[in-house]
Structure formats: structure tokens, C-alpha cells
Amino acid sequence: MTTVTAQAQRFREFRMPDVGEGLTEAEILKWYVAVGDTVHDGMVICEVETAKAAVELPIPYDGVVREIRFDEGTTVDVGTPIIVVDAGGDEAGPETVPAQPAPEPAAAEPAPAAEPAAKREAVLVGYGVAPSSTTRRPRKQPPAAPVSAPLNGHEAASPAPPASPAAPAAPESQAVPAAPAAPAERPLAKPPVRKLAKELGIDLATVVPTGPNGVVTREDIRAAAAPPAPLPAAPLTAPAAAGARETRTPIKGVRRATAQAMVASAFTAPHVTEFVTFDITRTMKLVQELKEDRAFVGLKVSPLLLVARALLVAIRRNPAVNATWDEDAQEIVQKSYVNLGIAAATPRGLIVPNIKDAQDRTLPELAAALGELVATAREGKTAPADMQGGTVTITNVGVFGVDTGTPILNPGESAILAFGAVKLQPWVHKGKVKPRHVTTLALSFDHRLVDGELGSKVLADVAAILEQPKRLITWA
């Protein structure tokens, strides 16, 4: 009985966690470890892609990798064991580790109360756990024992002379299975450090602590926030065989989630799209001036920044446009905050992270948030929480040289603004035809929430601000 318990504690299975809210599966993009590698609590072992984002998974215990159960590119259901770790060290033998734990006999004697096993709290990666102990006990190393004893299902006997032969192996049917993986503990960090991690969008569960007793420090957060080298982009199409006339690509991950969301939105919310073409020359001049302003040193200033600010001002002047249709409650929920989504094209597909409480940010703060959002999205490191709770969205189709479009709403949002290409065109200015910078905006909105008058006012306000950017001051 003692050997069975020791064996169960020795081999740990790490199961695919739910890294979002209610996700059922994830694709393994890349393994960072191999069989025989040593891992430690909090170490990132692989990167997976869910329907929302690519996420790195840390392992919650120490040991040596004994088995990797799925290859890269495999889609695995949440809760399925993906890796087995020998928590007893690197002296593991060659036997295969069973996947399911064996039931304890009814008459089994209780384990000694003097040395209870360390208890871990249930956790979803990226979402924390219930409060637990504020310190970690030092790990207790198991006593040295012959390798054959725990692997063959026999209790460890009294020390024998070196010349004694090893105990005979038991039949394969008596092999002791491994215990289920224990969930990870809540990362230890002081409140100011947790606040810093939240501000920087860092998941504490993915940070390797360097403080005393495994406490995450400010330096650990800043190190985790440093942009990593971008990973090779997952191919959007499978390689075609020589001479092949068709190439098939599995629909999964971000691309499948985007398709499902767009279909649901298009056939749920009645869409209306309106357009306006106008002279944006003054805004383009303001962009150049802001680039030389000391307040924007180190920040990216682009026309999109001023489009975002103009939309926020228009929403302040027409707050009813910032709402959600609650079908279950049969209510229109108007929001006093704006979580501004920015559609971003990434190698893995289109994602829409959003800037929380964008209405409260100064122009330099909005520029910093936009720059960080776009850089994180292109690296494939956008956290699932950053793509939830959006209220309105901007999609910049102009970067592709496109004049305009009819964008589809993100599910649950009331409006989406498409910003077209800025082109030098002949335009009547002060009674004369002159070359001016001209662009087109398109606003799609949910006609259940936004009628034609309200939608027109919002679109006209955005265009008026960008045509005369001094209105950013007078109208704000």
C-alpha cells in the first residue's frame, strides 16, 4: 500500500487547462521541453492556441519529463493529460506510466497524519484561484530507494547489502498507475505587484518568481513584460503537393472562432452601414506635429490615433450608441465606459483586442495603449481577457489600400467604424480645386439599438472632428 501511494505521488500528469472562459479544446503549437528534460514549478512547457489567442502554459510542479502524449499541431480537449512528469527525480526506469489512477482498497489504512501531502487549490490558467496559504513549504525529498521497488509495485524494504539481487518484476497487469495531476497554486505576490501585473497585462501564473519563498517581485513582472522574440507564424495554408490543384487547411483556432462569431453576428444583429467621404488634410498635418511633440517621445503617432480619439468624442456626444442588446432580459444596456476594440490582422487570423476604459485616457496614454495592443497582437501574445468586454471597434482597412468596406459587428457590440485609405485627390477647398488628403469612413451599427438618426450623428461627428481637429478641444 505504501508503494502504491508513493508511486501515485511520483508520476504527475499535467492536463490541458481551460485558458479562457468555457473553452473546450486547444491546439498544441510548440513544445519547449522534451522527454528527459528537468522542469520546475512555474516553468513554461508549451504554447497552445485556443479559439481566442495563443497562450503559454506553465507546469505546476517539479520533476523530469517522462512522457509527452501529443505532437505539435494536435488539438486536445480540455482536461486531457498532455505530459507526464516524474516528480521523484531523474532515476526513472523505462516502464510506461499508466494514464489512470488505481482505486484505493476499502480497508486501506490512513496515511500518517504527521506528514500530510501538500494541497493545491483549483486554478484556471490566467484566472487565479481562491485565497490560499501565503507561504510555501520546502519540498520534502523522498528517501533513497532502489529503482525497481516503486516501479514494480512493491513496498520499499529495509536497506539490503549491495550484493543482494533486486526484487523480481511483477506482471504487467500489476503496474501501478499514476495519480491525476494536482492543480497549480495561486502565484504569490504582494498587492502592488499584482496591480502592476494587471496594468501590464501579465498573467502571474506565467511569471517565474525570484523572490523569497517563491514570491513574484516587480522585477519579475517587468522581465515578463519585455517583448519576447516573435515565434514563427503558424501557416494559414497547408503546403500543396507538386502539381496539386487544391490545398486544404483545417479550420480551427482563431480562424474558426472568428468565422463562428461573424456568422452569429451577421444573422443576429440587423446591420446598417453608412459612409462619409471628407477632407482629412488638417488631421494629417496634426499627426506630423504630434510626432515632434515631447509628450509623444517613444510613442507611435498615426492617423488611427486621432480617429480613435474622434470616435471617443463622438460617443461622449451621443452616448446612446455605446450599448448592448440583452436578448435574455429584453433590455438595452447603455454603458458609461468605452472598451475600444482595434481589429488586428495576425498570422493566425483576425483578432480584436480592446483598450479598457479608453474614454479616460489622455492622447499620449491612448497612443501608448494602441502601440502595445498592436505589438502584442502581432506577436500572438494577446491574452484572452484583452479580447473580452469590447463595446465598439475600429477596423483600419486603409492600411491595405482599401477605400472603405461594410464591416460586420463584433458580437455584443453596437457599432464598428471602418477607416479607409487616405489619398491625395482633387478637392474643392475654399472655392478652388486643390489637391487634398481625402478618406472615407464607414459605420456599421446594430439597428435594434441604433436608429438611422443616431448612427448618422455619430458618423458625422467623427468626420467633422477629423476635418477640423480643433474640435477635439472645443467639443471635448
The values of phi and psi at residue 399, to 5°, are -65, -15
Q: Which residues contact 296 (CB under 8 A, 6 or more apart)?
A: 290, 364, 367
The upper half-sphere exposure of residue 154, i.e. CA atoms within 13 Å in the direction of its Cβ, equals: 15
Is residue 108 within 8 A of residue 1, CB to CB? The reply is yes
Q: How far, in Å, CA of 241 to CA of 304, rounded?
A: 41
Q: Which three cell numbers stand for residue 384?
A: 484572452
CB 355 within 8 A of CB 370: yes
Inter-residue contact 389 to 408 (CB < 8 Å):
no
Q: Given CA atoms 328, 329, 332, 336 in this order, what sign does their dihedral have?
A: negative
Whole-number Å distance between alpha carbons of 410 and 343: 10
Alpha helix segments (H runs only) across 161-229? 191-200, 218-225
| 437 is an active site residue | no
Burial class (CB in 10 A: 0-12, 13-18, 19+), 282: middle
What is the DSSP secondary structure assignment for residue 45, as one 8-state letter? E
| 3-state secondary structure string across 415-451 | EEEEECCCEEEEEEECCEEEEEEEEEEEEEEECCCCC
Q: Find the distance separating the first CA and the last CA of the chain, reported in whole Å.
A: 74
**Active-site entry in 154, 271, 437, 447:** 447
The Cβ of residue 218 has, within 10 Å, a number of other Cβ atoms equal to 14
In this structure, the strands spanning 215-216 and 188-189 are: parallel
Q: Which three cell numbers stand for residue 215?
A: 514570491
Strands of 244-343, DSSP E: 271-279, 323-326, 331-334, 340-342
10 Å CB burial of residue 433 (0-12, 13-18, 19+) is exposed
Joined grid coordinates for residue 201: 497585462
The grid cell for 268 is 443576429
DSSP character string of 354-411: EETTGGG--HHHHHHHHHHHHHHHHTT---GGGGSS--EEEE-GGGGT-----PPPPT
Closest CA to 31 of 63, 62, 69, 64: 69
Residues with a catalytic annotation lie at 447
